[in-house]
Amino acid sequence: MTTTFAFGLGLSRHSASGAMLDCYFPRPLLNPRGGLLDVLSELSPGTQEVTSDQALAIDHAYGGGLLPTSSPSSKGNLVAVKLDTDDAIDSTAEAYLKLHLLSHRLCLPNSLNLDGIFAHLPNVAWTSAGPVAIDELTDAISQAHLEGNQLEVFAVDKFPKMVNYVVPTGVRIADASRIRLGAYLGEGTTVMHEGFINFNAGALGPNMVEGRISQGVTLGAGTDLGGSASTMGTLSGGGNITISIGENCLIGANAGTGIPLGDRCTIEAGLYITAGMNIQLVDENGESLGKVKARELAGKSDMLFIRDSQAGNILCRTNRQAIELNELLHQHN
């Protein structure tokens, strides 16, 4: 019997011309097992529309829960995506399945092959009536006015907000529009109003996020990303370097990093560390140990980055004080 890497039974929405706009997978599966594999063996790899009877048979083989509570009628919006291997994305539905796998915490950021995702995600107007094709938006707005209604357009983007598809357990999100589908939010994570988490990025939890987590970046448990702090992602000048921040770190307000950090690291407020920056190493007594490029410190733990307020040098010394987040901030009950 062949194995299946991932599977999703979803509900898709389409434009008037028939182009798929989005796809919702209530319960995506990673490496499905048991009797479900027998049913899935009858499906071809990739994306395909299924009938209501086929969808119910798949749901029954799993034991229920793959479909919404009210089983949809056969309107051509039932979609099955079977991925035997983790290859490049080949359809809109495949892109949505992989984004769901991330936001459902089934896969960690940077663990999935997302090649082709931008080519297969249509740019969509996300509205109070759901996704609308861009070339149909003017007519939709006009129709709403004719009916005495207001069509609210929240965004024009390839990625929808996560909470319209997935709401992870044990999190607080102050502004849901700033969390894209495909973000990974671990248990105990709080995202404040100005916090932003891109797709294929995340906070492993518990975390306090008041800054920006760029694509491909992850925060370890207990790390605090201060107000307006930022991380350099692979799509924003980071090249091929994957930026990660370890556990119990503090990135101060308006600070940031373009190098990976280990555990228990602190960057003072307003200081942005880039790979080519000259860093003055100092011992616990403040004596100089020489200069290095910041990239030579990538991934190391127990570092404290501060500025010499008189000379203007960037200093790095051992960080003896691990940052502990206020437990009250991470209560989600």
Which residue numbers are catalytic? Answer: 210
Number of H helices, E strands in the chain: 5, 27
In sequence order, the 6+-apart residues with CB closer than 8 A to the CB of 5 are 30, 31, 83, 84, 85, 86
Q: Where do we find the tokens 């209530």?
A: 26
Q: What is the C-alpha separation between 191 and 201, in angstroms, rounded?
A: 13
In sequence order, the 6+-apart residues with CB closer than 8 A to the CB of 66 are 9, 26, 27, 29, 55, 58, 59
Q: What is the dihedral of CA 55, 59, 64, 67, to 10 degrees?
A: -30
State both tokens at 248.
């119990």
